[in-house]
Amino acid sequence: MTVTDTIERPAHVPEEHFIDYDIYSPLVEGQDFHTSWKTLQDSGLPDVVWTPRNGGHWMVLRGHLVQRVLSDYEHFSNHTVLVPKDTAGEAYRLLPLSLDPPAHAPFRILLSGGLSPRAVSKVEATIRELTVSLIEQLKPRGQCDFTADFAALLPIKIFMQIVDLPDSDTPTLKHLADQFTRPDGSLTYPEVVQRFRGYLAPLIEMRRGGDGEDMLSRMINGQVDGRPLTDEEATNLCIQVLVGGLDTVVNFLAFVMLFMAENETARADLRAHPDKLPLAINELARRFPLVTVGRELRHDLLFEGVTLKKGEMIMAPTILHGLDEQHNPVPLNVDFERENVQHSTFGAGSHSCPGAHLARTETRILLEEWLLRIPDFRVAPGQEVSFTGGIVGSVNNLPLVWESD
C-alpha cells in the first residue's frame, strides 16, 4: 500500500493525537495479527488518533467508537471507505457500500434474495457437499496448507454455485478479487475494475430479462425506485458481492482453524457438543475480527475532543471492538460460554454485512465436517504461520498435520 512521504502534523491535529501508524502494516515483531492490533489499543493513546500514512487519516481505537463511526451516517459517509482516499478509496466506490441512506436501501434489498437465511438454507446441502469433498481429498495426506488447500477454494466454489457461474472461471475471478484486497502489483485498481466489467458485461446482457433464480440474475433483474438497474449499477453490485465474500471468509476460516489447531480443549468441546457451534462461532467472530474500513467526514465535527474536517477519512478497525476489554472482559481468551459477546466483526448499522449468515454457515459446516473426519490436528512442528495486515487481515499459510489412516 502507498505510504505518504510527509509525516507532518496538520495544524488541527493536537500533538498527543498524532501517531505514525500504517494500518496496512500493523504487525509487531513476534506477535500475531490480533495481538499486534491489541498492542496499539493498549498503548495509552487517546481514543481518536491521526496518522500521516496512506494519505493521512483519523482512526478510532475503542469498540464503541468503531460502532459509532460505522453506523452514524449523518456524520460519517460511506462515499469513501478505504485509504488512501484518492487511489484505493476512489476505486472501491462499489454498490451498495458507497451509498448512504436513504439511497443505499433499494440497492441493499437486492442482495437479500441471495444472502438471506432462507436463501442460504437452500444452498446449505451444496456447501456441505463441497466441504466434505475437499476434506475427504485432504484427509489421507495427513497434512495440508489449510489456507491454500481449503480456505481459498471453498468460498469461491460456493460463490460460483450461488451465482451460477462455471467452475472453470474460478481462477480468473479469484485473481481479480485478490487484486482488490491484496494487490500483487500486476494490475492497477482501475485495471481490476475494467477487467471485472469486461468479464461481467456479457453475463449481465445474457441474464437480463431472463427468469434465472441465481443471485446474479435476481440482482440484475431487480428494480431500484421503480426502474431497472443500469449496466453500471448491476456490475458494481456484482463486484461488491464477489469481493466482499471471498477474502473475508478465506481468512476468517484460517484464523478459526489456527485457533482450533492450537486448542485441544476447544476441539474436544465442539466435537462432543456440536450444538454449541452457533454461539462458539459468534465468540470466534469476536476474537478474530479482520476488516478495517472507514468513512469520509461529511462536515467538520468536534468528536471526542478533536476537530475532524469535512472530507477527511476516519478509519474504524473492527478488530478493536471485539478485543476491547471495555466491552468483553479478558478479550484475548476464547470462551464459548461468554455472555453478552460484543463485536463489530460484520460491521454495524445499515451497511453491516449481508453475507454474515453465509459466512457463519460456512464456518459451522467446516467445523462439523472437519472435526468428524480429522478430530485432532496441529500446526506442523517447526513451521511458521505468517500474517499480513490489510483491509482484510490474512493468514498467509497454515501448515496443519494430523494422523492419517
The nearest distance, CB 6 to ligand HEM, in angstroms, is: 27
Do you know the residue count of the chain?
Answer: 405
Single-letter amino acid, residue 47: D
**Dihedral sign for Cα atoms in the order 201, 181, 91, 318:** positive
**Considering only 49-57, 59-67, 165-173, 353-361, which stretch makes contact with ligand HEM by CB under 6 A?**
353-361
Q: Name the residue nearer to ligand HEM (CB basis): 93 or 378.
A: 93
User: Does position 81 bind ligand HEM by CB under 6 A?
Assistant: yes
State yes or no: residue 70 binds ligand HEM (CB under 6 A).
yes
Strand, coil or helix: 181: helix
Any contact of residue 359 with ligand HEM (CB under 6 A)?
Answer: yes
Binding residue (CB under 6 A) for ligand HEM from 355, 389, 390, 393: 355
Report how far residue 103's alpha carbon sits from residue 101's, in angstroms, rounded to the nearest whole number: 5
Q: Does 244 bind ligand HEM (CB under 6 A)?
A: yes
Residue 292, classed as helix, strand or coil, is strand
CA distance 57 to 312: 7
Please say which residue, 13 or 70, places its beta carbon nearer to ligand HEM. 70
**Cell numbers for 380:** 506442523
| Binder among 67, 181, 217, 345 for ligand HEM (CB under 6 A) | 345
Site string for ligand HEM, 306-335 (x = CB under 6 A): ------------x-----------------
Q: How many CB atoms lie within 10 A of CB 32?
A: 17
353 binds ligand HEM (CB under 6 A): yes
The C-alpha atoms of residue 47 and residue 305 are separated, in whole angstroms, by: 10
**Comparison of 193 and 359: residue with beta carbon closer to ligand HEM:** 359
Q: Which helix (H) or strand (E) holds 297?
A: strand 292-297
- Residue 314 and residue 69 in contact, taking contact as beta carbons nearer than 8 Å: yes
Q: Which is nearer to ligand HEM, 139 or 197 (CB)?
A: 197
Residue type, 166: P
What stretch of H or E contains 171? helix 170-181
Residues 6+ apart with CB under 8 A from 136: 373
Q: Which stretch binds ligand HEM (CB under 6 A): 25-33, 52-60, 192-200, 248-256?
A: 248-256
Neighbours of 56 (CB within 10 A): 20
Interface segment toward ligand HEM; rule CB under 6 A; list 202-210, 265-273, 286-294, 380-388: 286-294
For the bound state, the minimum distance from the C-beta of residue 123 to ligand HEM, rounded and expressed in Å, comes to 11
Name the one range near ligand HEM by CB under 6 A: 143-151, 219-227, 260-268, 340-348: 340-348
Site size toward ligand HEM (CB under 6 A) is: 28
Binding to ligand HEM by residue 256, rule CB under 6 A?
no
Q: Which is nearer to ligand HEM, 341 or 401 (CB)?
A: 341
Judged by beta carbon, residue 112 or residue 186, the one nearer ligand HEM is 112
* DSSP assignments along 372-404, one per residue: HH----EEPTTPPP-EE-SSB-EE---EEE---
| 8 Å CB contact between 345 and 110 | no
* Options 107-115, 185-193, 271-279, 327-335: segment touching ligand HEM (CB under 6 A): 107-115
Residue of 84, 317, 347, 399 that binds ligand HEM (CB under 6 A): 347
Report in angstroms how near the CB of residue 401 gets to ligand HEM at its nearest: 25
Establish how many alpha carbons lie within 13 A of residue 30's alpha carbon, considering only the half-sphere containing its beta carbon: 1
Taking the complex as a whole, the smallest distance from the CB of residue 352 to ligand HEM amounts, in Å, to 6
58 contacts 308 by C-beta, under 8 angstroms = yes
Can you list the alpha helix ranges (DSSP code H) found in 224-379? 231-262, 264-272, 277-287, 319-322, 356-373
The reply on whether position 351 binds ligand HEM by CB under 6 A is: yes
List residues near ligand HEM by CB under 6 A.
70, 81, 96-97, 108, 111, 115, 240-241, 244-245, 248-249, 252, 290-291, 293, 318, 345-347, 351-355, 358-359
